[in-house]
Structure 1
């Protein structure tokens, strides 16, 4: 029995369907973004569609099935988007076609997020960015805008971002992310973003970075000041951080404020590696407790234990005068011990108070006594006049 045309078409369709099913079960295209699917506003991003089968044609689709472009390729195709705008945000898939396949094979969706559309939030670490291994830390994201969702991203060693977590807040201005126990994998640079439910692929600008660092993994270095812990204002001050361990970089912090990082630049006493931190002319604002840490460039988020604290005190310069023009009493008082000087100040104040009190009493006396004397004199003069008038009124005796 000769095969009919309909049977041949059915057979070809079944074979193609089996090939397509087998290929689809073995592998389907994958879509990736370089350098990252999180793209700042105005930058470019390259989408790569990978498929090992001998596909001859690829297509890139955005949400709602819109075909953006069609390029030729063998094993992969590159689709460059940008400079990106808010319209580029969305979900993408790619599909591959071949003359051996009747139906296209679609990749899993890839979400392209555009950042910088909204104002950036702020991020802070509690109890602080320096954490001992195994402890917990809370990253607090806060914004003046009422975001529906906060997203926390961690920067890996290649500079790309990987999602660490997200919190749906429902129109709130803050969110907390609990991280721990802290290990080398969880240590790193973190940023947070905010978004609104009406545009889930449009995020705010990233927050300023916060570095979560593990401390206490190595022996502590030592910290000292070339001029001593007390420096006068205007004098150049330099702090030396050194360690017998072969650290290749050192970090200096004052009251939790990171003053910078320096590579090891020489050897100090006992051939210890050290780094000199010049703080410039001393000002009272430099006063505070300083600590330094050591680390290796291959592990930027793993630091040693902190050095012993160094209290740096910057004082204002004292003005000096010529001894010949100084009051001798002042000179003698300056030469006395501090206890005697304070006693002299007390006696001086009591003497001044006594003098002012005496003057005040004398003024009162001078003010009141003359009035009394005048009144007394007037009364005596009045009596004398009345006596004279009385004598003149008496009859004179007859001769």
Structure 2
């Protein structure tokens, strides 16, 4: 359709319009898309253009008295991909500036790439993160796109032979939080979009605490609830597992004695439950998450088919002030030994093993013991390849600290039988 102007056209005297597209600027082939050209005041006519060979090609003309014009394209394919602009006029003699260009990407010719964040998708404020997009072997470029953005954020050439494109953010801010996808291009066309990667930015308020009422070492099948709590009145809490893809929100939440709390039920536990967890808090009207809680390790027993042994030197019954060593040993390969005290609130102790006299071992030394160290101890082993999966438990050992403690004239600690 053509239009003959009856007066001299004055280009650019009007404010430029805003061009957007629905459902997104990156769409799968055969999708129907709608361009919207919007102006602050009423317009008499609108035009949509596509950039081809560095020239504006007139696509469609609409006479529409409204503030927003709609241009629809059904069942798009690769020929529709490219840059678009729009323009409007309010009478026969006045044309607006062109809108900013909008890039339409049509995907689906190649298989979708994979996307991941390093060191992880939960990122502390002002720290660095790298987003990797791994495409197919013949990918020439890969593009990073953030949900809600009309245009791609960045374009990179994949590194060979890994086929990975690297997108670096040296100092993240709250504006970097959100959902990301990537897609790649070759001479055959555009790939499908990758799965969604959500970047969560944390660290802008006081950290909560994370604890497990069932302890940190659990047998398979046991129930497990992790509790996140804070003396800050957070409205939302989230739980994150190191290396995981999910940022779990909306635990069972309540307020008690000036504390805000949330429970996250993970049981019954299995191999996949083992790992390091952190939790975060936020207010309802804010997208800003708190600093991370201290990490909490959840260890799953019985995942290596043997048990270490545990012994006490010099004796399992000692006096206050004595020195005691708990010795963990294994004939099978163990990289780390873990010593656990039944009912203890603190985290289990860890020591790297040493290979001596045809076996792996570690010595857990306790100097100047007190009655608080009395109790039942067990030893476990793990291997570096799966640090949260443990052996079966050793036979338990009972440590008994007996006697009273008094001060002599030199203010030394002594024990009385």
TM-score scaled by length of structure 1: 0.63
Aligned to 2:291, which of 297, 305, 312? 305
Kindly report the root-mean-square deviation, in angstroms, between the aligned alpha carbons of the 2 structures.
3.7
How far has the Cα of 1:179 moved from its partner?
Answer: 0.8
SS in structure 2 at match of 1:166: strand
Runs of 4+ in 1 over 6 A off after TM superposition: 103-106
Following TM superposition, by how much is the alpha carbon of 1:73 offset from its aligned partner in structure 2, in angstroms? 0.8
Query: Secondary structure of 1:266's partner?
Result: strand
Distance 1:50 1:285 in 2: 51
Question: What are the within-5 Å matches in structure 2 for residues 108-123 of structure 1?
Answer: 108=99, 110-123=102-115
Contact 2:135 2:142 in 1 (8 A): no
Residue 82 of structure 1 corresponds to 74
Instruction: Please give the alpha-carbon distance, in whole angstroms, between the structure 2 residues aligned to 1:126 and 1:88.
Output: 34
In 2: Cα distance, 1:54 partner to 1:285 partner: 60
Note if contact 1:31-1:107 (Cα within 8 Å) is conserved in structure 2.
no
* Partner of residue 183, structure 1: 173
Cα 1:112–1:256 shift into 2, 3 Å = closer
Give the distance between the partners of 2:97 and 2:291, measured in 1 at CA.
Answer: 52
Secondary structure of the residue aligned to 1:242 is strand
Asked whether the 8 Å contact 1:238–1:276 carries over to 2, the reply is: yes
Q: How far off is 1:160 after superposition?
A: 4.2
DSSP 3-state at the match of 1:185: helix
- The yes-or-no answer on 1:250 pairing with 2:237 is yes
Q: Would you say how many aligned residue pairs link Structure 1 and Structure 2?
A: 297
Distance 1:309 1:93 in 2: 50
Does residue 32 (structure 1) correspond to residue 20 (structure 2)? The answer is yes
Q: Aligned partners of 2:220, 2:209: CA distance in 1, in Å?
A: 25
Q: 1:287 to 1:264 in 2, by over 3 A?
A: closer
Structural mapping, 1:147-166, within 5 Å = 147-155=139-147, 159-166=148-155
Deviation at 1:42, TM superposition (A): 3.0
Structure 2 contact 242–276 (Cα < 8 Å) conserved? yes
- Report the Cα offset of residue 286 of structure 1: 2.5
State whether residues 151 and 167 of structure 1, in contact with CA within 8 Å, keep that contact through their aligned partners in structure 2.
Answer: yes
Residue 132 (str. 1) matches residue 124 (str. 2): yes
The unaligned stretches of length 5 or more in structure 1 are: 1-14, 318-335, 343-399
Larger helix proportion, structure 1 or 2?
A: 1
Alpha carbons of 1:162 and 1:97: their partners in 2 closer, same or farther (altered >3 Å)?
Answer: closer
Normalized per residue, the structure richer in strand is 2
What pairs with 1:289-368 in structure 2 (closer than 5 Å)? 289-300=276-287, 302-316=288-302
1:227 equivalent in structure 2: 214
* Residue 245 of structure 1: how far off its partner (Å): 1.0
Q: How does 1:42-81 map to 2 (within 5 A)?
A: 42-50=30-38, 52=41, 54-55=43-44, 57-62=45-50, 68-75=59-66, 76-81=68-73
> Distance in 2 between the 1:24 and 1:147 partners?
40
Q: Is the Cα–Cα contact under 8 Å of residues 208 and 292 in structure 2 kept in the other structure? A: yes
Offset, 1:127? 2.4
Counterpart CA distance in 2 for 1:182 and 1:218 is: 16
